[in-house]
Amino acid sequence: MRDIFVTDEGRYITRVSLFLKELPQDVIESQLIFSNSKSLITLNYISTKDIDESEFKNFITKLQDRVGKLYEIRVKRVPKIEISKSGKRKAIKIED
């Protein structure tokens, strides 16, 4: 089953891999966290170095165009990405 995020405006967000292709090359691993209750989308990423937020401009622009202007998009470097109960890392996580 694919993860599908439905925005407050009723837009269906699928095929997140298309957005992830826009990430800077220095991103080793990433996870998108969608939250309707917070009107927030957070990109957690792992990299061997800090990446200036300006390098995420294409990613943020394409995602913002798709989800609408009601959502804040944050980019955050993290030391690790959580593993799910099944032992896998999920590319997207949907919260309410």
pLDDT at 3 over 80: no
Q: 3-state SS string over 26-75?
A: CCCEEEEEEECCCCEEEEEEECCCCCCHHHHHHHHHHHHHHHCCCCEEEE
CATH code for the domain in which residue 27 is found: 3.30.300.30
- pTM here? 0.84
Q: pLDDT (tens digit, 9 = 90+) per residue, 6-36? A: 787 877 777 777 888 899 999 999 999 989 8
H helix or E strand, kind and range, residue 77: strand 72-77
Structurally, how many domains does the chain consist of? 1
Q: What Cα–Cα distance (Å) separates residue 74 from each residue in 2, 77, 88?
A: 23, 10, 23
Parent domain of 24: 5-95
Cα–Cα dist 57/75, whole Å:
10
pLDDT of residue 20: 85
Higher-confidence position of 49 and 84 = 49
- Taking all residues of the chain, what is their mean pLDDT, rounded to a whole number? 88
Between residues 70 and 18, which one has the greater pLDDT?
70
pLDDT reported for residue 93: 87
Q: Which two tokens stand for residue 36?
A: 């309707």
